[in-house]
């Protein structure tokens, strides 16, 4: 069944019923304990965000992969992570934190193999990477694993006596860790790992970056920042300035949270930082809690775009007419998946009332605006 996940849409033409030619979204689709929807907004010339959802009667997998330096790493994860996850789950007799770690490690190792085989012809492949956010639900347990600064947020009913929460309030609970050196605690953690390098984290143009290059400290790929032999190779130095690394400055070890789902857990948001740069956790949860389910992922993406327009003092209508590539000057690619949790005794025991819901949805490789020249292809 996971072979379905290896067949992403090659492209999607925007426009039509959409009000933004670079916005793609799905209708509500079922999973073992509820339903979900996805929305993607393309800003880069080549869409660097990728995402997918796999559903079966006993498990649901959600992936959001925010690429950087090009789309190759995020597309690679789309084709491999879920397969490794399924493989190790079968071998180990069930899903676990150890299974997830092995799936991430295998994905990283396989991408490194591809880089080593192809980088002589394509040296820049060693500088391509991707954040990787995974959500997995099995037997009533939610696992969230993360590399980078994509984020998972839970919307749940407020607990009795919870501070600043009225009756019936829905609160936001962040489930993932942002591995971004703009976060002070994370920056100090990276600096502590490299006490002999006073320039391990540098503030350039008001933004903190590792070696002045990248904001995230964990990823799939970015091989030249993990394997010093690439950084020192003269061929690769034709494309980037040498850093002369003493040791790796990034890692592919995910932060993992395991949490038993509760009756008060209402929905989950998985999104790339393109969304979170413009909406707080609380704002996103409030939008969902006050809105109908139909079109909810699209509604969140549009809310972020409206914030972009407001910050730039422009009309939203003008922003949505801006084509890919040029759009990147205003915002990043945006990917959001909203997963509703409809609890039942059957689903909490690992059995679903929805029999035979096997499916895998991948987001498009690219979204072509109807105003784009590529719309004629």
CATH number at residue 87: 3.60.40.10
Q: What 3 state SS string does the chain have? A: CHHHHHCCCCCEECCCCCCCCCEEECCCEEECCEEEEEEEECCCCCCCEEEEEEECCCEEEEEEEEEECCCHHHHHHHHHHHHHHHHHHHHHCCCCHHHHHHHHHHHHHHHHHHHHHHCCCCHHHHHCEECEEEEEEECCEEEEEEECCCEEEEEEECCCCCCCCCCCCEEEEECCCCCECCCHHHHHHHHHHCCCCCCCEEEECCEEEECCCECECECEECHHHCCHHHHCCCCHHHCCCCCCCCCCCCECCCEEEEEECCCCEEEEEEECHHHHCCCCHHHHHHHHHCCCCCCHHHHHHHHHHHHHHHHCCCCHHHHCCCCCCHHHHCCCCEEEEEEECCCCHHHHCCCCCCCCCCEEEECCCCEECCCCHHHHC
289 belongs to a structural domain = yes
12 belongs to a structural domain = no
Predicted local confidence at residue 123, as pLDDT: 85
Which of 8-12, 15-19, 180-184, 258-262 bottoms out in mean pLDDT, i.e. has the lowest? Answer: 15-19
10 belongs to a structural domain = no
Asked if residue 146 has pLDDT above 50, the reply is yes
Confidence of residue 347 (pLDDT cuts 50, 70, 90): very low
Mean pLDDT to the nearest integer, 218-233: 86
284 belongs to a structural domain = yes
Q: Report the number of distinct structural domains present in the chain.
A: 1
Most confident region among 242-246, 302-306, 320-324, 346-350 by mean pLDDT: 302-306
153 belongs to a structural domain = yes
351 belongs to a structural domain = no
The share of the chain scoring above pLDDT 90, in percent, equals 72
Asked if residue 345 has pLDDT above 50, the reply is no
Q: pLDDT tens for residues 159-186?
A: 876 656 666 789 999 999 999 999 999 9
Structural domain harbouring 132:
23-180+216-343+356-362
168 belongs to a structural domain = yes
35 belongs to a structural domain = yes
Predicted local confidence at residue 6, as pLDDT: 54
Predicted local confidence at residue 161, as pLDDT: 66
Asked if residue 12 has pLDDT above 80, the reply is no
Which of 105-114, 294-303, 320-329, 361-370 bottoms out in mean pLDDT, i.e. has the lowest? Answer: 361-370
372 or 56, greater pLDDT? 56
């Amino acid at each position: 069944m996971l072979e379905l996940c290896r067949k992403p849409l090659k492209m999607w033409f925007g426009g039509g019923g959409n009000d933004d030619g670079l916005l793609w979204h799905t209708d509500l689709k079922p999973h073992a304990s509820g339903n979900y929807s996805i929305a993607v907004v393309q800003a880069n010339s080549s869409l660097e965000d990728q995402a997918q959802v796999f559903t079966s009667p006993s498990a649901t997998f959600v992936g959001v992969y925010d690429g950087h330096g090009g789309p190759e790493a995020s597309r690679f994860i789309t084709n491999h992570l879920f397969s490794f996850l399924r493989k190790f789950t079968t071998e180990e007799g069930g899903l676990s934190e150890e299974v997830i770690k092995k799936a991430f490690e295998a994905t990283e190792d396989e991408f490194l193999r591809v880089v080593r085989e192809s980088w002589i012809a394509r040296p820049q492949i060693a500088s391509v990477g991707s954040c990787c956010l995974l959500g997995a639900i099995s037997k009533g347990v939610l696992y969230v694993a993360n590399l980078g600064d994509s984020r998972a947020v839970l919307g749940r009913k407020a607990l009795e006596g919870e501070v600043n929460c009225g009756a019936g309030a829905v609160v936001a609970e962040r489930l993932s860790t942002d591995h971004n050196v703009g976060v002070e605690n994370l920056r100090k953690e990276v600096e502590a790992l490299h006490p002999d390098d006073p320039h391990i984290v540098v503030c350039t143009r008001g933004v903190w970056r590792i070696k002045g290059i990248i904001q995230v400290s964990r990823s799939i790929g970015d091989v030249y920042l993990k394997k010093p032999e690439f950084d020192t190779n003269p061929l690769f130095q034709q494309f980037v300035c040498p850093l002369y690394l003493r040791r790796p400055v990034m890692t592919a070890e995910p932060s993992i949270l395991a949490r038993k789902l509760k009756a008060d857990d209402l929905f989950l948001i998985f999104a790339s930082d393109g969304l979170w740069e413009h909406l707080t956790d609380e704002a996103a949860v409030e939008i969902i809690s006050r809105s109908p389910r139909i079109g909810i992922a699209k509604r969140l993406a549009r809310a972020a775009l409206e914030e972009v327009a407001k910050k730039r003092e422009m009309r939203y209508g003008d922003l949505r007419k801006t084509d890919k590539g040029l759009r990147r000057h205003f915002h990043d690619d945006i990917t959001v998946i909203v997963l509703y949790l409809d609890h039942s005794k059957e689903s909490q025991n690992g059995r679903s009332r929805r029999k035979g819901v096997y499916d895998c949805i991948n987001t498009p490789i690219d979204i072509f605006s109807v105003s784009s020249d590529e719309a004629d292809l």
